[in-house]
Structures are given as C-alpha cells and as structure tokens.
Amino acid sequence: MKIVADTNIPFLKGVLEPFAEVVYLDGRAIDRAAMSDADAIIIRTRTRCNAETLAGTRVKMIASATIGTDHIDLPWCAAHGIEVCNAEGCNAGGVADYVFSALYGTASRHSIKLDGATIGIVGVGHVGKIVEQMARSLGFRVLLNDPPRAAREGDAAFVDLDTLLEQSQVITLHVPLDSTTRGMASEAFFEKMQPGAIFINAARGEVVDESALLHARPKLGALILDTWCNEPDVNPNLIEVCDIATPHIAGYSYQGKQNGTAMAVQAVARHFGIGALLDFAPQTETEALKPVSVHLQGKTQGEIAAILQYNYPIFTDDFLFRSNPGSFELLRSEYNYRREFYID
C-alpha cells in the first residue's frame, strides 16, 4: 500500500510507515503525477482533489486533516468510489480562542466597551457552538444565524441574517465555504451592519466580498481577518486596514493539530483495516502544551483582555504577518502551535 501525505501535517511522520510506503510532499506538490500510484492521500486545504488531479490514479481514499472540504470535489469522488473523510470540528477550540483573544485585544486598543454588547454568530456548527458558549459565559447577548440548523431544529434558537446584522455590535463568521456562503458578506451585508460594529472572519476568505469589505471599512469599528481570498496571495490593501491580520492560523492550536492528525489517521485505518491505528491519538507529556482553564467570572473587561493575551498573545501573530505578508505559507508551516484555553 502506498500513501502520499502533506509534509506539513504534524505528528504524522513514522505513524503509518509500519503499514505502508509513505511519501511526504508539500501540499501544493501533491498533483496527479504524485498521486498516480497512491492508494490514499492525507492532505490539507492546499491540495486540490478533482477530476483533473484524480482521474486515472489509484486513489481510493482521501483523508483531510482539516475541517473544510471545499478543496475536494465531493460529487466526483463519490461517483468514482473514492471515500473522503475530513477532520470536522478538530480545531473548534483553537478558533474560539482566537476570536476572543482578538476581540478583547482589539477592544482594549481602541477603548471599545464590550459590556452588554450583542455578538452575532453566523454559522453555528462545531466552531460556532463553542464561540456561543464562551460568549454567554462572558455575558454577551448572543444572536445565532444558521439556516441549515434552523430548518432541521426549528427557528426558536435562531434569527434571520438581517436581524443579526442590524442588532449586533460584534459579528463573527463560522460558516463552511459552499455555493450558499461564497460571497455572503457582500455590499448589502455590510450596509445592514451597525456603524462601529466589529467584524471577524476566521471561516474562509471567499465568504467575504473583499471589495465590498474595503468599501465598508470606514463604517466598521474594528476589522479582524484570519482568512483571505486568493491565499497565499492576499490583498495588501486589506491587510493595511485590519486591526488584526493573521495568515489563516486561527485553528492552529496544539490540540487542534493533534485532533486533525488523529482523525485523518483513524480514517485511513478504518478504510484499510489497520487495527493498530483505529484509536491513534498523538500525545504530549509537556505540561506547557496541555490545555488550561481560565477563570474570568467577575473580572473587568481590562482584566479579561490581559488574561486572554497572556494565554494567546495574538498581536505577535499579527506583527509577524504584517511585517512580511509574502511569508504567508512559511508562517503557517513553521507556526509554533499554541495550547488551547477554556473558560471555567
């Protein structure tokens, strides 16, 4: 059995070698030629999987160590007998940590009062649910928009998008990228937002119309972006007007990466019947890398900001990216994974 894997997936090297020939390549180099005689591939979002790259190859299994699947042509794979597994929810905790470290850090820098604010969460899946829990524990009024969930569960817990935009002082996106969400943050979207509202996107870059965002920027109180259109060739003008700009690393927590790799390896193990790896999970004995609980009840906004910055100094990531936007991929591949924190 032969497996081709993205060399930037952590905790993977040496795990599958007892059971298969494993070839490691940069994600962008995993093309049709590289896949031609592979039985399975283990990838991130940087590898495109469609008819152009897969037709005529031996690939029967794709394991993505990421939550998204917009880099994979799912209907084509299903029609050609290729099983696809993604690591849904693996980095939810890390993204939620990013949202609140960024939110409180930016509010502190600009003297924005968050007490009594309403936060609108667009997309309430794995990530959105944790963002919701953290927001409620911090005393925010929370509005939720998730049409697929509302259709399944009823409208009681959700509001329509217009209501959310009109009533929220903070809006954070956590939707997958598909035909219904591509470009959803449009000119009309930003027109409905309150003047001075904070906008956060740690979902996918293409859910935002960047021209509309640039046009709306003077209206916004703060702008926090982790994802961009045309990554890694991001728009420098958009970086310049951000309060926090980072290179798609919101989910790059130590625990998130452990989860993503574990889910990918387990999927390969199930497909090929590798019993020894069905429960595979990377471990660490390093105390400084283990998740930590933070106590924020009764703290002032300034105290909360200081505690969150101590646990995730997000302005360091902003500085490194802003100093050299061309290092987008290098910053990702050499990122020093941070530990997650939880609000008790």
Q: Considering only CA atoms, which of 128, 126, 9 is closest in space to residue 65?
A: 9
Q: Which residues form the catalytic set?
A: 204, 231, 248
What are the residues whose beta carbons fall under 8 Å from the beta carbon of 279, sequence distance 6 or more?
266
Locate 308 and state its tokens: 């969150």
> Which residue is listed with tokens 């069905």?
278
Backbone angles phi, psi at 246, to 5 degrees: -135, 155
**Distance separating alpha carbons of residues 117 and 189, to the nearest angstrom:** 20
Closest residue by Cα to residue 24 from 13, 15, 16:
13
C-alpha 63/C-alpha 4 separation (Å) is 11
Which residue, among 210, 223, 242, 113, has the nearest Cα to 172 in the 3D structure?
Answer: 223
Q: Measure the CA dihedral 294/295/296/300, to 10°.
A: -110
